[in-house]
Chain A
Amino acid sequence: MSARRDRWLDREAGPVVRPYAVTKGRTAPASGSYIGLIDVVAAVADPQLPADTRLSREHRRLLSHCHQPVTVVDLASDIDLPVGVVRVLLSDLSQYGALRVVATSRGPEPNERVLRDVLNALQTL
């Protein structure tokens, strides 16, 4: 009988950081926009930032990781920040015009075309 072990147990033992320090305490995107875990984002080349915009170090780190389109969850994993924090920062960047959401799944379920594409792709895997 294997031990009842689950890695969630090991990882939930925080607090290890004050994650929302980098968002200046904001826990939700200012615009109220929702960016999903598997939405794809990409940095805008040569963005015209609003005049008084100051990007934080984390903003710049995020941008540097999404020159190529990348999903939110991959991005969060790459730069080792919690997803909730990444979302707030991405929302900032989107408002500044420095980031665009390339692909987003709208609605509570995938459409049938996506389901069929996934099915076909799995079958040929």
Chain B
Amino acid sequence: MHYRHSDAVEAEVMPATAKILIAGGFGVGKTTLVGAISEIRPLSTEEVLSDRSIGIDDTSGADRKTTTTVAMDFGRITFRADLTLYLFGTPGQERFWFMWDELAYGAVGAVVLADTRRLADCFAAVDYFEHRATPFLVAVNCFDDASSYQPEDVRIALDLDPDTPVVLCDARQFDSVKKVLIALVRHAIAKSRANPEYQGRPLPAG
């Protein structure tokens, strides 16, 4: 049996954590998707909204400052003691987008969950991740009565880049969600290789 003395004494398990964002419009199934694969029921924590996030046209002044909190849903998959993946549902409303920057920073990538009956609901998320150069894919949540669309139709409707994956999924099903996440991580690896300069930063304006 081989083991080094130092393993037992000094070596500390260095945990690695990673996160994936789950974005999409209201009621599209973000929390359902997280719940289908998370080892915990989606938990919630809160972030405090400062006035910078509430709106720059608010001239009411410091004496009327209010604090408001917004919930962040997240799920967790502990693969090993030293590897845990977090799934964060992104708050839907645009006024909470200041939180997206933080969520997207350091993320593996994002799943944009789409409902073909309300495809426009995910335009904003697609736009955000494209401009931020965050690896993302579009997962079409196949509700019972909306399964007749092909991924290509969705790609055209959303005007996606040719290399952005579009997959069909059932956000309630563990295996389906697992496939979506695998597709995303593969895409993220391909993207980071294709462009060594890629740093997940916003693209220059214009």
Contacts and interface: CB of A to CB of B under 8 A. Distances in A.
Interface of A: 2-9, 11-12, 14-20, 27, 36-40, 69, 71, 73-74, 76-77, 81-85, 102-103, 105, 107-110, 112, 114-119, 121-123, 125
B67 A110 contact: no
A41 to B, nearest CB: 11
Given A38-B86, A114-B16, A119 B72 contact: no
B200 A109 contact: yes
B106 A8 contact: no
Contact of A115 (B12, B71, B84, B192): B192
A118 B67 contact: no
A115 B190 CA distance: 10
Given A20-B67, A109-B200, A8 B45 contact: no
B171 to A, nearest CB: 13
Contacts of A71: 17, 84, 86
A91 to B, nearest CB: 16
B84 A73 contact: no
B199 A117 contact: no
Nearest to A76: B45
B3 to A, nearest CB: 22
Interface in B43-68: 43-48, 50, 66-68
A74 B84 CA distance: 12
Interface of B is mostly: mixed
B162 interface: no
A107 B18 CA distance: 12
Contacts of B103: 37
**Residues of B in contact with A, size category:** 35 or more
Given A15-B67, A83-B72, A109 B199 contact: yes
B93 A84 contact: no
B15 A103 contact: yes
A85 B80 contact: no
B15 A110 contact: no
B17 A121 contact: no
Given A109-B199, A118-B185, A122-B182, A85 B74 contact: no
Contacts of A36: 105-106
